[in-house]
């Protein structure tokens, strides 16, 4: 499975300390497993099925897509603290 990040998600990860980066990257790797692991909820109000993963005070908003070669893509659309993401 291929993982793609939005520009905002890349900037957020780059701005964090090493421990937080490792926690986030580990949690994202767990999303590539089937079934995905973690505190996951389906978000309401999106046209495409979009999910939320909770990692302590941080939230990762993501969805699964399929590319032209029929490979699955995990698209990380947003990462931020709870108060800023909703």
- The per-residue pLDDT for 9 is 95
- The per-residue pLDDT for 38 is 86
pLDDT digits (tens, 9 = 90+) for 26-66: 999 999 888 888 899 999 998 999 999 999 999 999 999 98
Our count of domains for the chain comes to 1
Q: Which whole-number Å values give the CA distances from 10 to 34, 42, 45, 68, in the listed order? A: 24, 22, 24, 24
- The per-residue pLDDT for 70 is 78
* Residue of higher predicted confidence among 86 and 63: 63
Q: Binning pLDDT at 50, 70 and 90, where does residue 86 land?
A: low
Domain range for residue 70? 2-85
CATH number at residue 79: 3.30.2310.20
């Amino acid at each position: 499975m291929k993982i793609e990040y939005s520009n905002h998600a890349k900037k957020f990860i780059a701005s964090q300390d090493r421990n937080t980066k490792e926690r986030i990257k580990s949690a994202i790797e767990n999303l590539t497993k089937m079934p995905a692991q973690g505190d996951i909820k389906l978000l309401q109000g999106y046209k495409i099925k979009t999910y939320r993963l909770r990692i302590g005070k941080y939230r990762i908003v993501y969805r699964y897509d399929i590319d032209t070669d029929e490979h699955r893509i995990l698209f990380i659309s947003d990462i931020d603290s709870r108060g800023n993401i909703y």
